[in-house]
């Protein structure tokens, strides 16, 4: 039986589960029944502390959503004096292979790119070669996993490189996270003193300029909201989007949504992500600002 605990509420929240649950669960029930897959959701209003959650502690493959944390680690190393944004990172045509790499391919004739451009390409266009080059500079998947542990995230782990990380069996636990833990890590990255103001600003700007999230959570959010996100997909059953959202400058939200399994279509992906965006707006924002 599909679990109906989409609404996780703090004691201060005025909406009761009994009133909210039927409206909230309909879209998620329909997606899971119609596709045979699962969806995990965690969304939090950082001012009120109110949350929406569904399968928030279940594991999902991260796919490219790991790139937001990867770039955060690169920026942390820059803040620590271990890296520089303008450092030149060389690569060759052989490094490109058959990997999705629109940015790296466009700069291949130059023989390399700056760390700044690699970060921008990894987030804004989800370039896999950019991500692999950055991953090599920070110490590989193990180093990124250690970074998550330093944030208090004991769940998220990266074991492989692009593109292998998108196709590992879920039963192995490799390259996975949960909606709640990824949301918590993103919150600490963007809303703590981990990074300098300059680095947080850079990361936020790159997330806001992400080109791959237009048909995910942004679909269900008002166009006048400020949204930054990082998507992920394996081209089959997995679609993911993690986002930081400002309905107004003083009220940030963190959102984390993952799918897995079944045979969803692109239209079904767009429908569920837009519905989640609208539900988050209704229950975490409209009644609080």
Residue 277 region, left (φ>0) first, then alpha (ψ -120 to 50), else beta? alpha
- What is the rounded distance in angstroms from the CA atom of residue 227 to the CA atom of residue 204? 9
- State yes or no: is 226 an active-site residue: no
User: Of 8, 10, 64, 117, which one is the catalytic site residue?
Assistant: 64
Nearest to 216 by CA among 198, 227, 236, 231: 231
Q: Is there a contact between 284 and 50 (Cβ–Cβ < 8 Å)?
A: yes
Structure tokens, 59:
């594991």
Query: How many residues would you count in the chain?
Result: 289
Question: Across the strands, what pairs with 45?
Answer: 253
Strand extents, DSSP E, the chain: 38-45, 51-54, 60-61, 88-90, 112-114, 176-177, 226-233, 239-248, 251-260
CA angle 233, 189, 174 (to 5 degrees): 40
**Which residues are annotated as catalytic?**
64
């Amino acid at each position: 039986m599909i679990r109906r605990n989409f609404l996780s509420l703090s004691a201060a929240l005025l909406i009761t589960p009994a009133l909210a649950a039927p409206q909230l669960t309909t879209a998620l029930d329909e997606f899971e029944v119609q596709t045979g897959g699962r969806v995990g959701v965690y969304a939090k209003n950082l001012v009120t502390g109110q949350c929406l959650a569904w399968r928030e502690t279940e594991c999902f493959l991260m796919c490219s959503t790991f790139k937001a944390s990867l770039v955060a680690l690169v920026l942390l190393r820059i803040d620590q004096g271990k890296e520089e944004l303008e450092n030149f990172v060389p690569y060759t045509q052989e490094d490109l292979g058959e990997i999705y790499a629109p940015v790296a391919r466009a700069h291949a004739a130059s023989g390399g790119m700056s760390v700044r451009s690699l970060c921008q390409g990894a987030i804004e266009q989800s370039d896999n070669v950019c991500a692999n080059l950055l991953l090599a500079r920070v110490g590989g998947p193990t180093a990124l996993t250690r970074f998550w542990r330093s944030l208090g995230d004991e769940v998220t782990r990266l074991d492989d490189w692009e593109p292998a990380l998108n196709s590992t069996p879920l039963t192995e636990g490799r390259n996975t996270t949960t909606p709640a833990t990824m949301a918590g890590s993103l919150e600490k990255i963007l809303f703590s003193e981990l990074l300098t103001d300059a680095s947080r600003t850079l990361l936020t700007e790159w997330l806001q300029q992400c080109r791959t999230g237009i048909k995910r959570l942004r679909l269900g959010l008002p166009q006048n909201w400020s949204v930054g996100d990082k998507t992920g997909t394996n081209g089959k059953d997995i679609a993911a989007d993690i986002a930081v959202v400002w309905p107004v400058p003083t009220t940030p939200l963190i959102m984390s949504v993952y799918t897995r399994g079944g045979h969803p279509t692109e239209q079904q992906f767009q429908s569920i992500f837009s519905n989640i965006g609208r539900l988050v707006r209704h229950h975490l924002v409209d009644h609080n600002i």
